[in-house]
Amino acid sequence: MSPEETPGLLHTVWNYDFKWTEDHVEADAKQPMKYTYDTLAEQALERLDLISPPPSTSSARQAIQKAESDQSTQPAQRDLYALLRDNAGKDEVLATLWEEVNRVPEWVDWEQIERGQKVFYRYAVGALTGLAFQGLIGGMASNRVVETLARTGGFNTKIARHRFFETFQHVLECTKSLPDIQPGGAGHASTVRVRLLHASVRRRIMKLIETRPQYYDHQAFGTPINDLDCIQAIGTYSSNLLFLQLPRQKIYPREQEIDDYIALFRYIAHIVGTPTDAYESPKKAKAWMESIMLTEIDPTETSKILANNIIKCLEDTPPVYLSKEFLEVGSRWLNGKDLCDGLGIGNPGYYYWALMAGQCWLSKVVAYTARAIPWLDELQISYFRQLLYRYIVEGDTLGGPSKFDFKYVPTAGQKTTYEDDVPRPAEAKAAFSIETVYLYAFVVGVLAMMLMGGLGLKLSVGLSRGLVGVVS
Ligand code: HEM
């Protein structure tokens, strides 16, 4: 145990304070987890490839190039979930994986999972803001994880936007309804696809290392998509959202909501092949998040490239048309100054900070009002459920649900670099940006505070006069 890991010791890391406890995870315990991973999915993938061979690397590259030149065109997709389901009876390894993903652990309580799904929509605006700014942009400070991401090319500016929304598709499918996350549901199937997609990425990089060890430093970065990084990734969607992303927007989920949301992601971890113990309780999940922040977050040059590419590809795009400055301030608000300085993210002026304050007030007022009135809460949840799914998955954004096939195949010598030439969707640069709404929210917020301050002052003057009258 290092002196840093003494119970009771206060840590400040990336503008976040926490106290080390017995639940925190020592560096020595995390180290071996950089090399352990989901071997069952990888064995299953070998079997599935024999049954239905994947497209060759060169044809996969052609598919990417086609997708790059025509963003609305999706290359034909191989559905690994359907292959697994249809062949589970013919092979022992496939049967084992099929049984594992369909087995419902005894700790799963469906009522709790259903409540957990609703938490995402109750705090929808804050949750989307948190996932985009902290989860995605701030997530690029995970220095080992970005080495895998940079080699799949998925965060070059041409495809990052599409990939970003594919990630949201997965969250939306997992939270759409209870049957969607139960075995056989769309969210469940997508999670199994993602598990097999991860196995494809890992196997491809490991194969490249066999002949070109300099391609990826296995010792330093760990096995691609290893157990530790998967625990961290589940945390990005869950513990980070509850303990970091929402609180930094001054939104505090209730204890029951925290229990329920962690339980939902513990179950998702089970399906996607991630060790679930880390999510046994909110206390443990929070301790894991903090332990990871202490040792695994430290931006590198690759982190800077990916974070800035993401900002570039999200700038001025539908549906919200956010400016580069707003995206930078949002990142700073959610990740803190130190991390954003490390990521090389700009620091725009007060105007954009006021906009971000307006957005936080607005999402807080919406969420807190709705959660206080049960019928309004249900209405808001179902509104955001339909709106986000319709817009992101069914609408022009993705143009229909993705099957998460392996598109961005790593190739020797290829790594994402800085890019300035960002392709814009045809409808980019709208006359109306949601920043206008945030500006109004800020002005209304300031007026409301002044009004309350004035009323408070009057009240206290009145009270003290009354008190003086009583005493004299
Ligand atoms: C265990 C929790 C995780 C979940 C729920 C998850 C979710 C997803 C989803 C939904 C996709 C498909 C959409 C997309 O292409 O972005 C995806 C793809 C991908 N994930 Fe993960 N992920 C997790 C962990 C990780 C980790 C730890 C890494 C490490 C770098 C990683 C690397 C990738 C890569 C490289 C792809 C893209 C593969 C391709 O399309 O070429 N994921 N993941």
308 falls within a domain: yes
27 falls within a domain: yes
Tell me, in angstroms, the distance from the centre of ligand 1 to residue 201's CA.
Answer: 9
pLDDT for 196: 97
Q: Is there a contact between 434 and 320 (Cβ–Cβ < 8 Å)? A: yes
Number of domains in the chain: 1
Tell me, in angstroms, the distance from the centre of ligand 1 to residue 296's CA.
Answer: 18
pLDDT for 179: 98
3 falls within a domain: no
Domain span holding position 361: 23-394
283 falls within a domain: yes
Tell me, in angstroms, the distance from the centre of ligand 1 to residue 390's CA.
Answer: 22
Tell me, in angstroms, the distance from the centre of ligand 1 to residue 262's CA.
Answer: 19
Say which amino acid occupies 309.
N
pLDDT for 51: 93
Mutate which of 165, 169, 201, 407 for ligand 1? The one with the most ligand atoms within 8 Å of its CB, which is: 201
298 falls within a domain: yes
Q: What is the pTM of this model?
A: 0.91
Q: Is there a contact between 153 and 64 (Cβ–Cβ < 8 Å)? A: yes
286 falls within a domain: yes
Ligand 1: residues with CB < 6 A are: 145, 148-149, 152, 154, 163, 166-167, 170, 194, 197-198, 201, 225, 229-230, 233-234, 272, 274, 404, 406-408
Task: Per-residue pLDDT tens, the chain, 472 aa: give them.
Answer: 787 888 999 999 999 999 999 999 999 999 999 999 999 999 999 999 999 988 765 555 555 445 544 544 445 568 999 999 999 999 999 999 999 999 999 999 999 999 999 999 999 999 999 999 999 999 999 999 999 998 886 666 667 788 888 899 999 999 999 999 999 999 999 999 999 999 999 999 999 999 999 999 999 999 999 999 999 999 999 999 999 999 999 999 999 999 999 999 999 999 999 999 999 999 999 999 999 999 999 999 999 999 998 998 889 888 888 999 999 999 999 999 999 999 999 999 999 999 999 999 999 999 999 999 999 999 999 999 999 999 888 877 777 888 887 777 777 767 666 666 665 555 555 567 889 999 999 999 889 888 888 777 777 777 777 766 665 5
Tell me, in angstroms, the distance from the centre of ligand 1 to residue 163's CA.
Answer: 9
396 torsion bin: left (phi>0), alpha (psi -120 to 50), beta (else): alpha
pLDDT for 396: 73
192 falls within a domain: yes
15 falls within a domain: no
Closest ligand 1 atom to Cα of 404: 12
